[in-house]
């Protein structure tokens, strides 16, 4: 056992390796055969079994090799690299998939996953960009409720990944990011390895991960894997990062009988204290017009059920900020589409996991010197339950403007809801219950009024070409409403039409948006969410912004390659339309050149054929559709493809918003 020792020096080994590689390149038939007849996957080592005694690098004396100045010069194979032990640790946590773009700073770990680990739990998902890999993990979590791991190459890989990590951080999504790094200068084998090495590789993303570590031993690595998972999965959820040193991966597992993978433990989510919960319940029961505003309140399907129970118990209005699927869109107490009126009429507002409480109770206005005005009545009571108050970073300002409240619980909303509901139920009298019934009836009427109004608004421009976003949404709803569907794209960019028209009532019906509003999230997150939905047989749908897709369209190939069923309906407005409006605004304010806002903001001349782009990646892709009458047949055709287990794209030329 242990490392094989043969009498070739390093120069000879490299020379031989080069010849071997050249022979493989020169023999495509052999390469094809290798793909067609892969070697069997080696049996995984039993993690509980004792490790074979292995000498540390530098300890071995070469029995047959001539003496050289470097005792390691003739070592060319390793039976049990440290990366095998790392795989044991990652498997002990349990990751279904590993999303990654390959890089040699984690080549040993990569090889251990696919051979020693059998490429299962996690299964390697080949991504064409680190941003796509992280984005997929982002979308996956919001469906599955479990994090994925992502391996990124040292330095350049983490630079690619950084925006997507920031989005996940802002969206409170846990991801375990593993960064390869050539830590020891002595063992960097090329100038590229130097270029891709760093003293502190995680420094680049430290401002937007919850925790990071750079372990220097395998035991330390295993324990840091457990701590990483536990930290990421304690609300507020956030990404974490582990630096994975190349020597630690590639050198043999040391002969250390104490080396072991510890079990993982996860913290229970923090609940609001009993006194504050009781106070909140008293105020809620006494309020005449309480409004529950939720952003990322429901972490799980159970959270959605608790939100319904609290609202129905109080017959209180609910305004959903849609960071998650917090409340059914057709529920009579859902007042989201008249949120301004509800907040303006409230005498108590309960904010649950709000990103921006200030923005709920104030309105911004003005272009050059933005100002705010209060939206609430004098004397309104404000209650906050927010796990974000438990953990704050300094540099990036995603924490929004400070809002004073009457009662703040630094706690997880979903974990606090059961005790709050129980306290509320105990306090409700028969008189209050009668009043609640009247209140609920009025809210139900208002809900119906707004739904009818939205339908009237959707009829405007019904036959317009390019196709209105309302028409697109209505046509899509008609095709999927009798399926077990899941919409995994942000509705903000299609004027929220699906949320205004469709019946969202299951947790996986909606997953919110980017978190950090970084463009490039939409495509990979929808593919990742579809990956999570695949085993449940759900019809996953995304309304895909054109500008977003063009950041890293290679994720379409990943969807096709990994056979991820996903219906992508392009919202092809041929622009970074938000920026069109922003530049237009400046031209208007500056009183000049108001016809030139398209410069630098639009994707015209040439038009991008997204159907052909999809086809080039091995997917179904439709011709451009600009006549609304052509939309239904194209959707039907694409859905048939998706139901067969593959992704499909429908290219719809749309109105701006």
Region 282-341 residues binding other proteins, contact defined as CB under 8 A: 337-341
Name the one range near other proteins by CB under 8 A: 103-111, 224-232, 299-307, 465-473: 465-473
Check residue 588 for interaction with other proteins (CB under 8 A).
Answer: yes
Q: Pick from 112, 514, 136: which is nearest to 323 by CA?
A: 514
Closest to other proteins by CB, 235 vs 553, is 553
- Contact indicator for 510, 167 with CB cutoff of 8 Å: no
Check residue 595 for interaction with other proteins (CB under 8 A).
Answer: yes
By CB under 8 A, name the one of 6, 459, 599, 640 that touches other proteins.
Answer: 459
Check residue 163 for interaction with other proteins (CB under 8 A).
Answer: yes
Separation of alpha carbons 196 and 186, rounded Å: 14
Check residue 597 for interaction with other proteins (CB under 8 A).
Answer: yes
CA distances from 495 to 336, 654, 656 (A): 14, 12, 9
Separation of alpha carbons 556 and 600, rounded Å: 26
Separation of alpha carbons 527 and 537, rounded Å: 14
Separation of alpha carbons 556 and 260, rounded Å: 40
Closest to other proteins by CB, 556 vs 580, is 580
Helix 522-534 crosses helix 130-144 at what angle (to 10 degrees)?
50
Question: Which residues are bridge partners to 320 per DSSP?
Answer: 294
DSSP classification of residue 572 = B
Q: With contacts defined by CB under 8 A, how many residues of the chain interact with other proteins?
A: 72
Q: How far is the CB of 399 from other proteins (least distance, A)?
A: 15
Give the number of other Cβ atoms within 10 Å of residue 459's Cβ.
Answer: 13
Check residue 344 for interaction with other proteins (CB under 8 A).
Answer: yes
CA distances from 355 to 210, 447, 488 (A): 17, 25, 20
By CB under 8 A, name the one of 36, 367, 404, 429 that touches other proteins.
Answer: 367
Check residue 386 for interaction with other proteins (CB under 8 A).
Answer: no
Q: Pick from 376, 385, 308: which is nearest to 342 by CA?
A: 376
By CB under 8 A, name the one of 379, 591, 605, 606 that touches other proteins.
Answer: 591
DSSP 543-566: EEEHHHHTT-TTHHHHHHHTT---
Terminal Cα distance for the chain, rounded: 65
Q: How far is the CB of 244 from other proteins (least distance, A)?
A: 25
Check residue 603 for interaction with other proteins (CB under 8 A).
Answer: no
Name the one range near other proteins by CB under 8 A: 209-217, 228-236, 257-265, 370-378: 370-378
Region 410-439 residues binding other proteins, contact defined as CB under 8 A: none
- Contact indicator for 574, 602 with CB cutoff of 8 Å: yes
By CB under 8 A, name the one of 169, 208, 357, 576 that touches other proteins.
Answer: 576
Closest to other proteins by CB, 98 vs 316, is 316
Q: How far is the CB of 498 from other proteins (least distance, A)?
A: 13
Check residue 587 for interaction with other proteins (CB under 8 A).
Answer: yes
By CB under 8 A, name the one of 303, 466, 524, 621 that touches other proteins.
Answer: 466
Can you say whether the dihedral through the CA atoms of 491, 555, 472, 330 is positive or negative? negative
Region 515-574 residues binding other proteins, contact defined as CB under 8 A: 516-520, 547, 551
Name the one range near other proteins by CB under 8 A: 63-71, 116-124, 281-289, 490-498: 490-498
Q: How far is the CB of 359 from other proteins (least distance, A)?
A: 7
Q: Pick from 102, 105, 103, 49: which is nearest to 80 by CA?
A: 49
Name the one range near other proteins by CB under 8 A: 48-56, 88-96, 557-565, 578-586: 578-586
Separation of alpha carbons 202 and 182, rounded Å: 13
- Contact indicator for 445, 317 with CB cutoff of 8 Å: no
DSSP 102-140: --GGGHHHHHIIIIITTT-SSEEEE-SSHHHHHHHHHHH
CA distances from 290 to 277, 316, 443, 449 (A): 16, 6, 12, 20
Check residue 509 for interaction with other proteins (CB under 8 A).
Answer: no
Region 121-140 residues binding other proteins, contact defined as CB under 8 A: 131
Q: How far is the CB of 598 from other proteins (least distance, A)?
A: 9
Check residue 85 for interaction with other proteins (CB under 8 A).
Answer: no
Closest to other proteins by CB, 234 vs 495, is 495
Check residue 599 for interaction with other proteins (CB under 8 A).
Answer: no
By CB under 8 A, name the one of 14, 216, 305, 363 that touches other proteins.
Answer: 363
Check residue 264 for interaction with other proteins (CB under 8 A).
Answer: no
How many residues comprise the chain? 657
Name the one range near other proteins by CB under 8 A: 62-70, 189-197, 435-443, 450-458: 450-458
Region 5-34 residues binding other proteins, contact defined as CB under 8 A: none
Q: How far is the CB of 442 from other proteins (least distance, A)?
A: 18
- Contact indicator for 472, 631 with CB cutoff of 8 Å: yes
Q: How far is the CB of 86 from other proteins (least distance, A)?
A: 30
Separation of alpha carbons 625 and 629, rounded Å: 9
Closest to other proteins by CB, 259 vs 519, is 519
Check residue 627 for interaction with other proteins (CB under 8 A).
Answer: no
Residue 79 in tokens: 């039976």
Region 200-259 residues binding other proteins, contact defined as CB under 8 A: none
Name the phi and psi angles at 364, rounded to 5: -90, 145
Closest to other proteins by CB, 569 vs 619, is 569
Region 470-489 residues binding other proteins, contact defined as CB under 8 A: 470, 474-475, 477-478, 481
Check residue 364 for interaction with other proteins (CB under 8 A).
Answer: yes
Residue 496 CB partners (closer than 8 Å, separation 6+): none
Closest to other proteins by CB, 8 vs 581, is 581
């Amino acid at each position: 056992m242990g490392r094989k020792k043969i009498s070739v020096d390093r120069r000879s080994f490299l020379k031989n390796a080069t010849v071997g590689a050249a022979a493989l390149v020169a023999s495509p038939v052999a390469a094809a055969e290798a793909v067609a007849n892969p070697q069997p996957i080696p049996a995984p080592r039993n993690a509980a079994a004792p490790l074979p005694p292995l000498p540390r690098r530098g300890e071995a004396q070469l029995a047959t090799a001539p003496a050289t100045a470097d005792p390691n010069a003739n070592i060319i194979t390793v039976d049990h690299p440290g990366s095998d032990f790392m795989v044991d640790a990652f498997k002990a946590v349990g990751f279904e998939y590993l999303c990654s773009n390959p890089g040699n700073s984690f080549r040993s770990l990569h090889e251990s996953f696919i051979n020693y680990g059998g490429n299962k739990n996690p299964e390697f998902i080949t991504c064409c960009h680190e941003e796509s890999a992280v984005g997929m993990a982002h979308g996956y979590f919001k469906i599955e409720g479990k994090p994925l791991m992502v391996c990124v190459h040292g330095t350049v890989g983490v630079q690619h990944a950084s925006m997507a990590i920031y989005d996940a951080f802002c969206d409170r999504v846990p991801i375990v990011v593993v960064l390869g790094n050539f830590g020891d200068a002595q063992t960097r084998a090329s100038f590229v390895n130097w270029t891709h090495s760093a003293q502190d590789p995680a420094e680049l993303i430290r401002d937007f991960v919850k925790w990071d570590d750079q372990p220097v031993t395998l035991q330390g690595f295993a324990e840091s894997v457990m701590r990483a998972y536990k930290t990421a999965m304690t609300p507020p959820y956030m990404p974490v990062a582990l630096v994975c040193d190349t020597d630690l991966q590639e050198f043999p597992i040391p002969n250390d009988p104490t080396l072991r993978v510890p079990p993982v433990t996860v913290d229970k989510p923090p609940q609001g204290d009993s006194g504050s919960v009781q106070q909140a319940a008293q105020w809620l029961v006494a309020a005449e017009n309480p409004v529950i505003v939720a952003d990322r309140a429901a972490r799980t399907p159970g959270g959605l059920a608790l939100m319904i129970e609290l609202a129905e118990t109080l017959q209180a209005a609910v305004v959903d900020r849609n960071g998650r699927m917090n409340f059914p869109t057709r529920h009579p107490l859902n007042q989201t589409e008249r949120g301004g009126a509800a907040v303006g009429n409230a005498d108590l507002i309960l904010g649950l996991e709000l990103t921006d409480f200030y923005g709920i109770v104030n309105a911004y206005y003005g272009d050059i010197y933005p100002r705010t005005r209060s939206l609430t009545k004098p004397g309104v009571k404000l209650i906050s339950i927010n796990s974000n108050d438990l953990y704050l970073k300094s540099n990036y300002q995603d924490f929004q403007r400070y809002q004073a409240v009457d009662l703040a619980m630094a706690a997880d909303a979903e974990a606090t809801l059961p005790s709050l509901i129980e306290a509320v139920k105990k306090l409700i009298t028969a008189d209050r219950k009668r009043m609640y019934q009247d209140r609920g009836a009025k809210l139900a009427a208002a809900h119906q009024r707004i739904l009818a109004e939205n339908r009237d608004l959707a009829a405007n421009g019904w036959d317009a070409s390019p196709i209105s976003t309302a028409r697109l949404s209505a046509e899509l709803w008609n095709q999927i409403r009798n399926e077990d569907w899941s919409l995994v794209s942000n509705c903000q960019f299609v004027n929220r039409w699906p949320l205004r028209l469709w019946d969202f009532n299951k947790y996986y019906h909606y997953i919110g948006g980017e978190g950090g509003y970084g463009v490039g999230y939409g495509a990979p997150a929808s593919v990742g969410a579809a990956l999570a939905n695949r085993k449940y047989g759900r019809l996953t749908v995304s309304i895909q912004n054109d500008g977003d897709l063009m950041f890293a369209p290679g994720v379409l190939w990943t969807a096709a390659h990994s056979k991820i069923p996903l219906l992508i309906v392009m919202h092809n407005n041929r622009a970074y339309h938000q920026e069109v409006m922003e530049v237009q605004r400046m031209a208007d304010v500056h009183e000049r050149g108001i016809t030139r806002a398209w410069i630098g903001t639009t994707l015209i001349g040439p038009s991008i054929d997204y159907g052909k782009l999809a086809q080039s990646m091995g997917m179904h892709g439709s011709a451009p559709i600009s006549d609304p009458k052509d939309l239904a047949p194209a959707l039907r055709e694409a859905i048939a493809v998706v139901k067969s287990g593959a992704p499909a794209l429908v290219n719809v030329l749309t109105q701006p918003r």
